[in-house]
């Protein structure tokens, strides 16, 4: 098993998150090349749409953790880690939320890492009431972790938090992922003691997106949304050296995002 990277005497980790929109499909579109090129210490996936063993994946040197939905071919998360965590858990302990394989929590020496695929409010906002319940319960869950040791949250949070995080803000105000209710829940999470690391490092960066519609020409024109994040305990901010959007990596309608962190 590969040793943890060391940098300037500190524990240095490169974390990456990617909504692959179906891992079996992404494997046919260069997933392994991207995985090898990025070479993360911990690689978190969302929307895997599969169970472990349904595809042949050779990721030598990584521990694998899977959380699949009860419904076949739907949702799901996975984590591949060079570093064996102290503990792993699945879901947030609430049956209503834990049937869709949306959360994997890994405990490392210095922090918790929560890989999450937040429910979409869906067209006509049919699932918005459930989504808002999820947000309150998830906030309570991660705040509980943060009381024990610092927590990092990564994944597809299915919300563009601010107007800077979406290309066409005015025309999307009533659409899933940019309603005021969803954006307010994101604000509440940040106000509870968490930092949006990319926006903290790049406060004025426009046109930085992580998801694009599959309609022709949309990604080429960069008409996108930033809905994939690394958030973390405010007290980790000084330890974050970089937050990255890998916009040049294809294979999904999302691109990977990354975080570099060192902990004394």
Please confirm, yes or no, whether 209 is among the known catalytic residues: no
Q: Which of 117, 141, 209, 229 is catalytic?
A: 117
CA 197 – CA 190 distance, rounded (Å): 11
**Residue 15: partners with Cβ closer than 8 Å, 6 or more residues away:** 40, 41, 42, 44, 113, 152, 154, 230, 258, 259, 260, 261
Selecting among 41, 62, 65, 156, the annotated active-site residue is 156
CA distance to 10, 133, 203, 233, per residue, from 43 (Å): 20, 28, 25, 20
Q: What is the DSSP string of 238-251?
A: GGEEEEEE-TT--S
Q: d(Cα 218, Cα 205) in Å, to the nearest integer?
A: 20
Confirm if 219 and 180 have CB atoms less than 8 A apart.
no
- The DSSP letter of residue 156 is E
Known catalytic membership, residue 117: yes
Q: Which active-site residues does the annotation give?
A: 117, 156
């Amino acid at each position: 098993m590969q040793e943890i990277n060391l940098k300037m005497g500190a524990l240095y980790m490169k974390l990456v998150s990617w909504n692959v929109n179906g891992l079996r499909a992404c494997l046919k579109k260069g997933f392994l090349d991207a995985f090898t090129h990025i070479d993360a210490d911990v690689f978190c996936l969302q929307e895997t749409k599969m169970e472990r063993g349904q595809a042949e994946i050779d990721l030598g040197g990584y521990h694998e953790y899977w959380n699949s939905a009860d419904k076949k071919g739907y949702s799901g998360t996975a984590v591949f880690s060079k570093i064996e965590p102290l503990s792993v858990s699945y879901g947030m302990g609430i049956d209503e939320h834990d049937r869709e394989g949306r959360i994997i929590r890994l405990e490392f020496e210095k922090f918790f890492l929560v890989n999450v695929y937040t429910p979409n409010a869906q067209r006509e906002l049919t699932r918005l009431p459930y989504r808002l319940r999820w947000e309150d319960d998830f906030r309570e869950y991660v705040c509980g972790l943060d009381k024990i040791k610092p927590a990092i949250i990564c994944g597809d949070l299915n919300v563009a938090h601010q107007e800077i995080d979406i290309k066409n803000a005015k025309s999307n105000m009533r659409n899933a992922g940019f309603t005021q209710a969803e954006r307010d829940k994101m604000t509440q999470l940040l106000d509870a003691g968490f930092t949006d690391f990319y926006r903290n490092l790049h406060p004025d960066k426009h046109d930085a997106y992580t998801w694009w519609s599959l309609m022709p020409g949309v990604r080429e024109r960069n008409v996108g949304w930033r809905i994939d994040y690394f958030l973390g305990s405010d007290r980790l901010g000084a330890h974050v050296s970089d937050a990255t959007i890998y916009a040049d990596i294809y294979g999904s309608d999302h691109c990977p995002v990354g975080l570099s962190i060192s902990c004394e």
